[in-house]
Amino acid sequence: MSYLDALHKARQARLCRMRAAGERPKSGRQSAASRPQPAVERQAEDARMIALQEGRTLGEDPTIFEIKALVANAFGVSAVDLERGSRKHKYLLPRMVAMHLARRLTRWSLADIGLRFGGRRHSTALNASQRVGVRRKRDRAFSAQISAIQRQLRRRGKKR
- Please list the pLDDT of the chain residue by residue as tens digits (160 residues): 677 777 778 888 888 787 777 766 565 555 444 555 445 445 555 555 555 555 555 557 788 889 999 999 999 999 999 998 888 999 999 999 999 999 999 888 999 999 999 899 999 999 999 999 999 999 999 999 999 999 998 887 565 5
Fold that domain 59-159 belongs to in CATH: Chromosomal Replication Initiator Protein Dnaa; Chain: A; (1.10.1750)
The SS3 call for residue 124 is helix
Give the contacts of 135 (CB within 8 A, at least 6 positions apart): 142
Provide the pLDDT for residue 155: 82
pTM of the predicted model as reported, rounded to 2 decimal places: 0.64
